[in-house]
A and B are shown apart, each in its own frame.
Chain A
């Protein structure tokens, strides 16, 4: 079943000295439960694309469908996780996690029960009355993820969500997040400039060209490993093959 369908998205910017086409006919779709990574040369408009899907930015033309329904503007079906965790320092972990539900006036007993369940499953329940400053970077990122998952989105968007972390933490957090997303069967679309990260997490990697961006290629990733994790698949011999392939694709663009 297709959860997200991106159809002929085009984005132009108007500036005083001319018109810039950032995205030119972007088409792809995401199946339920899939993890899609989007990679592309820097400045190609990856984040712009994500902002359009999230409804933060209005596209020049084209359409976005979630579960077959055309969406315009910000939708409660879509969860968006930013680079920084943006936990509100004056709220406890619990009150941070319910922030999205609170905004959407959706603090129903079932939803709150779900939040508690998520906190318990991902080892954060003991910290629910603590403040963000008392948590490590990795834990904070997990809290931010649960805050996004609490609204039960049909699709999750990750915008360079780990690039603010140091390398060590980043690998651990990536592993954690991947485990959570697979366990909760969350459909995910991630934008990253880090090719290995894209390969290690994605079921498919979408390669964008440089500006004006089009979809160059969509590569299915399959390591043939049972219980694949972002860490163990890095050891697979196929990993470097995928890497070389994507690297060449991106380089041929320059």
Chain B
């Protein structure tokens, strides 16, 4: 395209598109800025009770204070637990999905169990988990696993089962074994499904970890939130929630980045 002179209409179109993108960004930042400003001002004017609703400047100060008092350790604990739960969930879930894909008999038999387990709010299992594995990091990781596992199994299995039948037939005509069909057709065909489930999973694992930390922990962002609530330090709660949001976004973006690299390698 570069060799050609761009037509006038094209230039106008491109400028319009660029403007639109800029406007979206400006509005996004603007809304955040206004929100913080209104919050701060209403707290200063006494329109809202900053003791209950906190205020941006106090949250900021709390963050600074926390940073000097082991904030990194708390973030580290939460991230560590999430990553372990996430990895376990993805690996176990994928392995289970492979087994169910392999044997349609096992898949049929386990169908009602999967449906029930999927609709069960896994947090209800909290007390059971604590009693079985003890109140500690293990319970938190189990919680994360409980929340993410079934979703992974269902998502992956659905992807495997919806692999283009014609591809499988083609491989079969060459005499492919079931293992070859899985390795060379079904799995690569579902790379996108895998990453979709990773994206869902990273969020769910974090939900599980925070729920677990609410129940048992002595460290982590979930612990800070609960602790802040108990001692009525709403600044601490708000600061922890905001940091949690940032941590969650970073972890999600890491998965997106990984997806891009892998997809490129796979030639998508």
Contacts and interface: CB of A to CB of B under 8 A. Distances in A.
Interface residues of A, number: 24
Interface string B225-268: 00000000000000000000000000000000000000000111
Contact of B167 (A56, A88, A151): A88
B167 A86 contact: yes
B184 A102 contact: yes
A80 B268 contact: no
B174 A100 contact: yes
Contacts of A76: 175
Interface in A63-108: 74-76, 78-80, 82-84, 86, 88-92, 99-100, 102-104
B267 A82 contact: no
Most buried by B among A74, A84, A88, A99: A88
Contact of A131 (B171, B173, B267): B267
Most buried by A among B174, B185, B267, B268: B174
A103 B267 contact: no
Contacts of A54: 173
A102 to B, nearest CB: 7
B174 A103 contact: yes
B176 interface: yes
A92 B266 CA distance: 10
B194 to A, nearest CB: 13
A88 B163 CA distance: 12
B169 interface: yes
B170 A82 contact: yes
Interface residues of B, number: 20
B266 A103 contact: no
Contacts of A89: 267-268
B9 interface: no
Contacts of A88: 167, 184-185, 188
Contacts of A151: 174
Contact of B173 (A56, A83, A90, A91): A56
A232 to B, nearest CB: 32
B207 to A, nearest CB: 32
B61 interface: no
B169 to A, nearest CB: 6
Nearest to B185: A88
A90 B268 CA distance: 6
B179 to A, nearest CB: 11
B175 A104 contact: yes
Contacts of A100: 174
Interface string A139-157: 0000000000001000000
A90 B174 contact: no
Contacts of B266: 90
A103 B173 CA distance: 10
B191 interface: yes
B105 to A, nearest CB: 21
A82 B169 contact: yes
A131 B268 CA distance: 9
Contacts of B191: 90
Given A88-B185, A89-B268, A131-B267, A82 B166 contact: yes
B180 interface: yes
A162 B170 CA distance: 16
Nearest to A76: B175
A103 B188 contact: no
A94 B189 CA distance: 18
B172 interface: yes
A69 to B, nearest CB: 16
B104 to A, nearest CB: 18
Given A88-B185, A90-B267, A99 B173 contact: no
Interface in A94-125: 99-100, 102-104
A138 to B, nearest CB: 19
A7 to B, nearest CB: 22
Nearest to B170: A86
A91 B267 contact: yes
Nearest to B266: A90
Given A82-B169, A91-B267, A131-B267, 7 more contacts: A54-B173, A74-B174, A83-B166, A86-B164, A89-B268, A90-B267, A104-B175
